[in-house]
Amino acid sequence: MSFSGKIAIAGIHEYESRWAPDKTSFQIMGECTREALTDAGLTLSDVDGLFCASMASDAMMPVQLSEYLNIKPRYLDGSNIGGSSFVSHVAHAAAAIHAGLCDVGLILYGSTAASDAMAIGTGNSGGRDPGAAFNTPYGMTLVSSYAMVAHRHMHEYGTTSEQLADIAVSTRHHASLNPHAKMQNPITRADVLESRVIADPLHLLDCCIISDGGGAVIVTSLERAKDLRQKPVVVRGTGESVAHREIGAPDLTTIAAKQSGEQAFAMAGLSPADMHLATIYDSFTITVLCTLENLGFCKKGEGGAFVENGGIGLGGRLPVNPDGGGLSSNHSGMRGIFLVIEAVRQLRGGLGARQVEGAELAVAHGTGGYLGLMHSGATLILSNS
């Protein structure tokens, strides 16, 4: 009954610029729609499902976007579970298509986070949840929420700042091979460790960049995708979940990826060892390390050894974020859609210097929210045959 193997990604587009002060977020999404439809060989009239989330306007986002694009989808999904939303939207689109509720799903994101001078991460953790009053008095920033996870990981497993720095170094190397990446100059471990501390133990270069950007992903049935312009990339497994500060004594280093990853790999009938690459939400270096452990690429506590010295670089044991990730290429507030797009690009092949050779299976994992407070996780497993 599962949709595994029956649904495909037929079109993608990542907005090329990282700086768009002359554009609105809707314009960026409109342009991405046009380019992704062209990529797929479809037209706007084919779109009958719309999936979107935004930092700026949560309320009625699919309604506003339908008006902007002048479409009347028969399936609307504005689920917003944070930056991971777009990874989960692929699963939602797959389910809706499999159930016959729509045929062509369009997933969209656009933002002018950088040109709006949004200072993401170093303000207080506001929040509209009823528990926000218990956080706001204490000045817990987004960065410090992740930093507290990093400290706990270091305490329990001996993980070092050097190991975390190596995540940033590998990712920047990848960005240097991506002409669209925002930060392309290579960095060293020392550069990361000598950059200023934002919230101990996370340095500036342990943190994602802030850019403008957007993207579009088109999902349809594998059957229909076979007649379209691109070789289909097939949805093999999906999972989503949440983790939060449970009553009692929670474990801060077990994150939502554990549950969503188990679901996704089980649906796909595959294991982490089968994956040729991973795109992982790298809001901060610690996010990557915890995600790798919780998805099962290594045992809990062994993430430091897994990532150090190029372990997650091109040519390493598992290339992670070959596009340069949110740490160096594109983090326009919510990054989930770019995880899907880069995984699809890698599985289509032909990316030149940053191509993962022989890439046939990829996992994308998004984390949304505050890792040390409450967050969502969404996992997607894709194949090119």
**Which H, E and C letters describe 188-250, residue by residue?**
CHHHHHHCCEEECCEEHHHECCCCCEEEEEEEEEHHHHCCCCCCCEEEEEEEEEEEECCCCCC
**Least distance to another protein, CB of residue 221, Å:** 41
Is 128 a binding residue for another protein by CB under 8 A? The answer is: no
- Alpha-carbon distance of 155 to 163, in angstroms, equals 14
Residues 6+ apart with CB under 8 A from 3: 94, 95, 97, 98, 235
Provide the 3-class DSSP secondary structure of residue 315. Answer: coil
Is 372 a binding residue for another protein by CB under 8 A? The answer is: yes
Burial class (CB in 10 A: 0-12, 13-18, 19+), 301: middle
Q: Which stretch binds another protein (CB under 8 A): 172-180, 229-237, 243-251, 277-285?
A: 243-251
| Closer of 59 and 128 to another protein (Cβ) | 128
Q: Which stretch binds another protein (CB under 8 A): 48-56, 140-148, 308-316, 347-355?
A: 140-148
Task: Scan residues 167-196 and list those touching another protein (CB under 8 A).
Answer: 196
Give the distance, in angstroms, between the CA of residue 114 and the centroid of all CA atoms in the same chain.
18
Of residues 249, 315, 350, 357, which one binds another protein by CB under 8 A? 249
**Least distance to another protein, CB of residue 312, Å:** 24
Is 158 a binding residue for another protein by CB under 8 A? The answer is: no
- Alpha-carbon distance of 334 to 210, in angstroms, equals 10
| Closer of 286 and 361 to another protein (Cβ) | 286
Of residues 62, 82, 105, 201, which one binds another protein by CB under 8 A? 201
> Pick from 375, 380, 183: which is nearest to 290 by CA?
375
Of residues 124, 160, 195, 230, which one binds another protein by CB under 8 A? 124
- Interaction site with another protein (CB under 8 A): 119, 122-124, 130-141, 143-144, 147-152, 155, 196-202, 245, 247-250, 252, 372-373
